[in-house]
Amino acid sequence: MRKLTATLMLTSAISFAPGAMAQEGEPIRIGVLHSLSGTMAISETTLKDTVLMMVERQNAKGGLLGRPLEAVVVDPASDWPLFAEKARELLTVSEVDAIFGCWTSVSRKSVLPVIEELNGLLFYPVQYEGEESSKNVIYTGAAPNQQAIPAVDYMMEELGVESWALLGTDYVYPRTTNNILDAYLKDKGVAAEDIFVNYTPFGHSDWSKIVADVVALGAGGKKVGVVSTINGDANVGFYKELAAAGVSADDIPVMAFSVGEEELAGLDTANLVGHLAAWNYFQTAESDANTAFIEEWKTFIGDDARVTNDPMEATVIGFNAWVAAVEKAGTTDVDPVLDAIVGVEVPNLTGGTATVLPNHHLTKPVLIGEIREDGQFDIVSQTDPVPGDAWTDYLPESAKLEADWPGKDCGMFNTETNTCVQVQSNY
Amino acid sequence: MIRPLTVFVLTLLLAMPASANPALEAVIADNLDQIEKPSRRTVEPVVAQIAATGPEGLALLSAWTNRSLGMTDDGRLLIVDGDGATDAVTGKPVPAADPKMLRPNSGVRGVIESALVAGEISDPDPARRAAALASIARDGTAEHLAALRAAAPEDDPALAVQRNRALSLLTIQFDGDPAARVAAIEAMAGDVGLDFRAALNPLLATTRIAAPAEPTDANIARELAVGDDGFPREAAIALLTSQGVLQPRLTPADQRTALAANIEGGSVGGVAVADLSDPAARDRAYEALEASGAVPPAATDAEAEAALAAHRFFEVYAEADSDVTDAARAAQVGAQLRLAAMTGVDLGLDALSLASIYFLAAIGLAVTFGVMRVINMAHGEFIMMGAYTGYTVQTLIADRTLSLVVALPLAFAVTALAGVILYRLVIRHLAHRPLETLLATFGVSIALQQLAKNIFGTQARPLTAPAWLEGAITVNDVIGVSSIRVAIFVLALLFLGLFLFIMKRTRLGLEVRAVTQNPGMAASMGINPDRIAMMTFGLGSGIAGIAGVAIGLFAQVTSELGQQYIVQSFMTVVVGGVGNIWGTLAGAALIGGLSKVIEFLNPANTLAAQTFMILFIIIFIQFRPRGIIPQRGRAAEA
Amino acid sequence: MTDRPTRQPFILRNPSILAVLAVLAVFTVAVTLLSQAYGSGVIPTSTVKVLGKTLCLALAAVAMDLVWGYLGILSLGQMAFFALGGYLIGQWLMYARTEAIVAASLAGNPIPPTPAELQEGVANQIFGVVGSSDLPPVWSFAHSLPLQLLLVVAVPGLLAMVFGWLAFRSRVNGVYLSILTQAMTLALALWLFQNDSGFRGNNGLSGLQNIPGLDGVDQARLSVWFLWASALALGLAYVLAAWLVSGKFGSVVRAIRDDETRVRFLGYPVEGFKLVVFTLAAMITAVAGALYYPQAGIINPAELMPIASIYLAVWVAIGGRGRLYGAIIGAVVVSLLSSWFTGGRAPSIHLPGYTVNWVDWWQVALGVSFVLVTLFAPKGIAGIVDRLGGIMPPRRPGRDPGPDQGALQEQEAKA
C-alpha cells in the first residue's frame, strides 16, 4: 500500500509547480536525478520526495529571488549510462539551474563529465569514498574522514578493538574506504595479520562461512570488531547469520557505514541491539530543527511510520545551502552561485551548522549510534563538526593532493609540485 | 537478565537506611564530566573510586551499566526504575524527576562490569555469578584472577565448570609463576576452544630481529636463514633498514628530487635536463653529482651484502619465559590436526547447508524440465512469491511458529496455483518449442517481479524465524551451524523423500514417468499427457514456493530474491542431469560443496569464488554435456 | 517454372536491403539537419545520442538475429560481446585521455618524466579511485588506438570461437546452450565486477564521451559524428548479414536451425557453419558495443549481466526472428518505447481509485506483451510487415519448424 501512495505522490510530482500561478516571474527550475525504478529506487525515491518537500516549503515562503521553484523529476532507472543521458537532458532541454541527485558512486562518475562539460551544478547527498572534488559538484554527504575514520577511532578507543574484519560489498565505496582504513590502521600500529578483508557480491545471502571466519579471528586473543560497508539488502542475511551464531555486540561489535533507519526496517532488530552505525545524522538526534523536520516529513509523505535518515539530512543541507548561495549571489547562474556558496553556513538537523568548504565538501559532526530494539539508534558519541577532506591523508598518493576552488581553482592540486594535476575531475 | 539485576539492586537499596554516602558524593562531584561523557580509556579510575565507596557505589555502577542512571540539571545522579527515581547518593526517592539518561557506550559498560566482577563472583544469585563469569571470559584481567581465587567455592555444577575454565585461562595469561602457567597449559592441551587458542596465541606472538650475534636475553623462537620460505632477501634488507643498520636504497622519487635540486644552467651533473626522461641518463647525472659530492652516495648492493653477512636473523617471542612458550607451542601443535579436521567438518556443514538450499530451489525446476523439456524462467519468481506469502502470513499471524505452519502449505498452494495458471495460459500452447517457452516465461518473470515491487515495495521485507529456529547448533567453537539451516536441510530431505514416494509409489508418479519416457506411447495407453504435465508443473512450482519461505527465513525477502537463485538452480539442474532427482541432488551437492571449497581457498573475495564456480560449470558441461547422471534411453534423444 | 531464374545480384533479390539502407540514410540525414550542431537544433544533443545508441543496439540485434533467427541458437550471452567491445575501446579512451592529462601535469616538473613515471601517473589516475596504482597487464595495449581497435574484434571473436568450439563440439544445444551462454556472460560480469580483474570493478570505465585528441569538438558535433558512424556500421552489417543468409551458405545455416541432425547426415560440417556464424555475430556485436559506449559515456559490469542479453532476445523476438529488418524494428521500437515509458514522460492513466504510473507498470506491460507476442505473433512485427507485403507462408500441415518456414518449404511453395 505504501508503494501505492508513493505512486500517487510521484504522479503529482512530475508536473510539480505549486504556487506557480501566484508568483511573478519565470519559475526557477531544479532537476531531481534520482532512480525511481530499478535496484536503487528503494533508497533514492526517498531523496526525490525530500527535494520535492523542500521545494514546496521554499515556495510557501515565497519562492527564491521572487520567483517560484519548479522541480523537474526524471528517472534514470538505476542504469548508470542513463544517468549521464538524463543529466544532459536536464541541463540542455529542461535547462535546470541545479541538480539534486545520484546515490551510487558509479552514477556520480557517470554524470560528472556531463556536468563539467555543460557547467552544471550537482548536489550529491550520500556518504562516499572521497578522492574527488569537482568544480561543479557540492558533496553534502560524508567524506571518509567524516565517517569511516572517526568510527574506527571510536572502535579503537572506546571498544578496545584490536583485530579488524573489514567486510564490504564489492564496489568502489567499500574498496576505497577499506583501502583507506587499512592504511590508517597500519599507521596506528595494527599488524597486517590483524586485518581481515572480505568482499561479497551485491545481495549476497550465504553468510555462514564469512561469519565463521570473523568469529575465528577471536583465536588471536585480541578483541575483534567488524567494520561493515555491506550494502543494502545483503545486510539482512548478514545480521541474521550473526544473530544465529550468537555473536552479541559485546563480543564482536559491528560498525556499519551503510545501515540506517531505512535498512533496519527490513529486519527484526531484537538480536542486533548494541551493534553500531556511524552517520552524520540519526533520526533520534535531539534538536528542534530535527523535530520540526521529522514532523514535516511525516505530514508531507502522509505516513507516520516513515523514518528519516542521513542522506535526507544531506539533501536538506544541500538545498538550503544552494538557496542561501543564490540569495547571496542574486542570480541562479552557476558560476556566481559557486563563488557565493563557499563559506555559506546553514543549520544542520543535529543542532549545529554546516559550512561549505573551498573543496566543495561540508563540515559535519560524526555521530555513532547503537541499534535499539525499535530500529532506531541510541547516539553514543557525537563530535564537533569535522571539515570534509576530499583527498585522504592516509594514502600516500592522495596525501599530497588538495582541492581548493576559490583559491587555486583546482580540485586536484599537488602540494609537492605546486601544480594542478587536472581541472576536470578524474572520472 | 538486566531487569532482575536492577530489581535486585533496588530492593537492596530500599532495604538499607537512607544514609548519605559522603565519599561517593565527593567522587561524583569531582568526576561529573567523566560520568556524563565517559570514555573507556579514562573511566577506569573513576569506576574504581566509585566501587570503593561501598554498596551505594556498586548500586550506582550497576545502574550506570544498565543505562538506568540519569543526571539532573543540577548535577545529581538518579537511579531510574520505570516511573520512579531514587537519588544515587542518598537512596531517597525523588518524585517527578526528569533526568537526562546517561548512555555509556559498550566499552565503558565493559569496564564497569569488569569492576563489578569481584563483588559479583560470590553473589548468592547464580544469574549474577554467570554474568560475572561472562564478563571475565570477554575481557579477563589479572585482578579477576585474584578475585576468582579468593571467591567462595561454586555450588552450581555448570557454573563451576565455567569458572574452572576461566581460572585456567587467567592462570595461563596472568599468573606470576611460570610453573603454574605451564601446568595450566598442559592441563588444557588438546582443547580447540576459541578462548584457549586466544590465550595461547598472544604467548606465541613473535617479532623478527636482526642482530650480529644470538641475543642472550631474548626468548628465541627460531633463527631465520635469508632466502628461506617466508623470509626472502628483500625482507631481510627491509628489516635491516628498519633497524637503521642499512641506508635505504635510492628510490626513483628521491633520485628525481635530488636531481631537481641540483639543476644548474639547464643541466644536472653535465646531463641536459631535456635528456632526463631517460632513466639511464638520470643514473649518469646522479653518479656525476655523487662524484662531485653534491648528493650523498646511495646505498649499494655491496653494502647490503655486507650487512646481510654481518647479521643473523631471529624470531623472538614476546613472552620471556621459554618454558611457557614451549608448553604453549606443544599445546598448539597438538591441537592443530584436530582443529584442521574440525574446520573441515564445519566447512562440510556449510556446504551441506548451501547444497540443500540449492536443491530445494532447483527441485521444482528439475521436475518441469525433466518432464516437459521446458525451462521455466519464472521459477525464480515463484520462489519469490513463496517468500512474500510467508511475509504476508507473518504480518497477519503474530505467532511465528503458527504463522510458519500456515505459511508453508499456503506458499505451496499459492505457487502451485500460479504454476497451473502459467501452464494453462502459456506453456501448453508452446509445446515442443522450448526456446519460445523460455522467452515467454521470461516475460512472465519480469512482469511478476515488477508486480511484486508495485505491491510490496522495493525495500526488503522482514520474515523472521520462530524463536526455536533462532540460534545455532554448536558442537564446539569451530563446528556450528545455525538452526534455520538445519531446518532447511531437513526440509530438503523431506521433499526428496516425498518426491521419491510420489514418483515410485503412486499412480501419478507412474504416469509422470511414462509421459517423461514417451509421451506418444503414454497417450495411447490412456494417460492424458496434458493433465500430467499440468500437475507436474503445479508440483514443481509448489515446491518453489516452499523453497521461497525457507530462503526468506535466513536471507532477505525482496523482489529480486528469485533472480539470485534462478541461475544457480539452472546450473544445478544442468550439471546434475535432466530427468533424475538423484542428478539434481548430485548437482546441488557438487555446486554447494565446490562453492564452499573455493570460498575457503579465497576467503577475501566471495565474488571470485562465484566466478570460478560458474567457470567450472561451463567447462564441466563441455565434458559431460548431459550432466553427472545422464538420462538414458530414448527420452535422451528427444 | 522449369528453368532456374537467372542469378540476380543478391541485393536485388532482397528488396528489404535497399529499403533498409534508404530508410537509414534518410533518417541519418534528417537527424543531422535537425541537430544542434549542423542544423536547426530541433533535436537536442541528448536525443541525438539516444538515437545513435539505438542504432548500435539495432546492430547488435541484427547479429542476434543471425545467431538466433537464422542459426537457431538462442544465445543469452550476446551482450557479453557488446560490453567487451565497449570495454576494449574504453581502455584506449581512458588511457589516452588520462595520458594527456598526466603529461600536461608532469610537464610542470623541473625534470622531464621517464616513460615509467608517465605510466605510473596514468595508472594512478585511472586506478587511484579503486585503490591501486599499478597498470594491470590487460592494459598493455591501451596506449595504442590501432591495437585496441584490433582487439575490439579479436577478443570477442576469439572468446566466441573458443566457447563455440567447446560447446558445439560437445553437441550442447537447445536450452542447454542457452543456459551455457547465460553462464558465460554471468561469469564474465562477475569477473569484471572484481576490482582485481583490472577493469575498475563496479565503477567501470567512465568519461568515454570525451574523445582524446578531439578536445576542440563539442559533444553536439561528436554526437552527430557517432550517429553517422553507427548508421554506417549498421548499413554495412546489414548488407553483410543479408548477403550471408541469401546464398547457399544461408540455406545450410537455416537447415541447421530446422534440423541439425539431418544436415549433419548430409555431410555438411555443422560445427564449422555454426562456429563461423557465432563468431561473426560476436564480432559484429563487439563493434556495436565499441560504437555504443563512447556515446553512453560509461561502461560497467552491470551492462553485461544476463538480463541485458535477454532483453536483446526480447527485441529480436518482438521485431520478428529470421527477418533481419525485424531485428532492427524490434530493437528500435522496444528500446525507444522503454526509454520513453521509464523516462517519466508517458502520461499516467487515471483509473477510478488507482493511477497507473508507467514508471511502475511499464515492466509489467513489457512482460505481458512479450508473452502475447510469443503466443499469438511468433513472427513479431516483421510478420505483420510480411502480411502487408503479401508474403504469405505456404499452408502446410504439421508442426511449425521455426519462425520462418525454412528453405525446403520455400522450394515446395515455388514448385
Chain C CB contacts of A3 under 8 Å are 360
Phi-psi label, residue C113: left if phi above 0, alpha if psi -120 to 50, beta otherwise: beta
Contact C49 A74 (CB under 8 A): no
Nearest residue in B to C316, CA atom? B439
CA B378 to each of CA B425, B427, C281, C304, C334: distance values in angstroms, whole numbers, following the listed order: 14, 12, 28, 20, 21
Q: Are residues C109 and A114, on separate chains, in Cβ contact within 8 Å?
A: no
Q: What residues 211-240 of chain B have any CB closer than 8 A to a CB of chain C?
A: none
Looking at the DSSP bridge assignments, the partners of residue A419 are A414
- Which residues in chain B are classed under CATH 1.10.3470? 340-637
Pick left, alpha or beta for residue C201 (phi over 0 → left; psi -120 to 50 → alpha; otherwise beta). left
Contact between chains at C202 and A171 (C-beta distance less than 8 A): yes
Structural domain including C17 reads: 10-310
Give residue A184's pLDDT band: very low, low, confident or very high (50, 70, 90). Answer: very high
For an interface test with C, the pick among A4, A104, A171 (most C C-beta atoms closer than 10 Å) comes out as A171
Dist CA C193 CA C179 (whole Å)? 21
pLDDT tens per residue across span B331-358: 888 888 888 999 999 999 999 999 999 9
Q: How many domains does chain C have?
A: 1
CA C156 to chain B, closest CA, distance in angstroms equals 17
Q: What is the pLDDT at residue B155?
A: 83
Q: Write down the pLDDT at residue B76.
A: 83
Q: Domains of chain A (ranges plus CATH)?
A: 2-143+286-363 (3.40.50.2300), 145-285+368-387 (3.40.50.2300)
Helix C115-127 with B252-260: angle, nearest 10 deg: 120
**What is the 3 state secondary structure string of C152-183?**
HHHHHHHHHHHHHHHHHHCCCCCHHHHHHHHH
Rg (CA), chain B: 35
Q: Residues near A290 by Cβ (< 8 Å), separated by ≥ 6? A: A283, A349, A350, A351
CB contact under 8 A, C374 and B430: yes
What does chain C come to in residues? 415
Chains that touch C (3 or more CB pairs under 8 A): A, B
At residue B84, the pLDDT reads 80
**Nearest chain B alpha carbon to C181:** B618
Using the beta-carbon criterion (under 8 Å), do B564 and A203 form an inter-chain contact? yes
Calculate mean pLDDT across residues A80-98.
91
Q: What is the pTM of this model?
A: 0.87
> Closest residue of B to A416, CA-based?
B257
Evaluate whether A236 touches B555 at the Cβ level (below 8 Å).
yes
Cα diameter, chain A: 71
Domain assignment present for residue C362? The answer is no
| Residue contacts between A and C (CB atoms, under 8 Å) | 145
Is C14 inside a domain boundary? Answer: yes
The 10s digit of each residue's pLDDT in B527-573 is 998 899 899 899 999 999 999 999 998 888 888 888 888 888 888 88
In angstroms, the separation between the Cα of residue A1 and the nearest Cα of chain B is 7
Mean pLDDT in residue range B244-248: 78
Mean pLDDT calculated for residue range B267-282: 83
Three-class SS state of B81: strand
Q: What confidence category does residue A22 fall into, taking pLDDT thresholds of 50, 70 and 90?
A: very low
Q: Is A204 on the interface with B (CB under 8 A)?
A: yes
- Contact call for C370 and B443, based on CB within 8 A: yes
**What average pLDDT does the structure give for chain A?**
87
Contact B389, B504 (CB under 8 A): no
C133 lies in a domain? Answer: yes
Rounded to whole angstroms, how far apart are CA atoms A327 and A256? 38
Q: According to the model, what pLDDT value does residue C7 have?
A: 63
* Angstrom distance (rounded) from CA A165 to CA A227: 6
**Is the CB of B350 less than 8 angstroms away from the CB of A209?**
yes
Asked if residues C70 and C251 have their Cβ atoms less than 8 Å apart, the reply is no
Are the Cβ atoms of A11 and C204 closer than 8 angstroms? no
* Cα A256 to Cα A269: distance, rounded to the nearest angstrom: 14
The percent of residues above 90 in pLDDT, for chain B, comes to 17
- Higher pLDDT: B468 or B252? It is B468
Contact status of B608 with chain C (Cβ, < 8 Å)? yes
Q: What's residue A123's pLDDT?
A: 97
What integer best gives the mean pLDDT of chain B?
A: 85
Return the minimum-mean-pLDDT range out of A202-211, B389-398, B539-548, C380-389: C380-389
Q: Is the pLDDT of residue A173 over 80?
A: yes
CA distance A167 to chain B (A): 9
Residue of chain A minimizing CA distance to B253: A416
Task: List CB contacts (< 8 A) between A77 and chain C.
Answer: 342
Say if C148 falls within a structural domain: yes
* Chain position carrying cell 652516495: B297
Question: What is the C-alpha to C-alpha distance for residues A147 and A364, in angstroms, rounded to an integer?
Answer: 9
pLDDT digits (tens, 9 = 90+) for B112-147: 888 888 778 888 888 888 888 888 888 888 888 888
**Which of left, alpha, beta for C299 (phi over 0: left; psi -120 to 50: alpha)?**
beta
Q: Which of A199, A421, A427 sits opposite C207 (nearest CB)?
A: A427
Helices (runs of H) and strands (runs of E) counted in chain C: 16, 4
Domain at B340-637, CATH from 1.10.3470, 2.60.120, 1.25.40, 1.10.150: 1.10.3470
Q: How far is C133 from chain B (nearest CA, A)?
A: 15
Model pLDDT for residues A44-53, shown as the tens digit of each residue: 889 999 999 9
Task: Determine contact, residues A137/A237, Cβ cutoff 8 Å.
Answer: no
- Contact (CB<8Å) A198/B606: yes
Q: What is the pLDDT of residue A333?
A: 94
C175 and B429: CB-CB below 8 Å? no
- Strand B69-71: give its sheet, edge to edge: B84-87, B77-81, B69-71, B100-101
Q: What 3-state DSSP class applies to B429?
A: helix
Nearest to C128 among A85, A113, A131 (CB): A131
Residue bearing the bigger pLDDT, C10 or B87: B87
| ipTM rounded to 2 decimals | 0.85
**Is any Cβ of chain B less than 8 angstroms from the Cβ of A80?**
no
Residue C97 is assigned to a structural domain of this protein: yes
What percent of chain C is predicted at pLDDT more than 90?
46
DSSP, collapsed to helix, strand or coil, labels residue B79 as: strand
Amino acid code (one letter) for B368: T
Instruction: Name which of A11, A114, A170 is nearest C195 (Cβ-Cβ).
Output: A170
Q: Which chains touch A (3 or more CB pairs under 8 A)?
A: B, C
Q: What is the chain A residue with the closest CA to C49?
A: A85
Rounded-to-integer distance, Cα B524 and Cα C385, Å: 42
Q: In angstroms, what separates the C-alpha of C115 from chain A's closest C-alpha?
A: 18
With beta carbons less than 8 A apart as the criterion, state whether B102 and B69 touch. yes
- Is C170's CB within 8 Å of B622's CB? yes
- Total H helices, total E strands in chain B: 26, 11
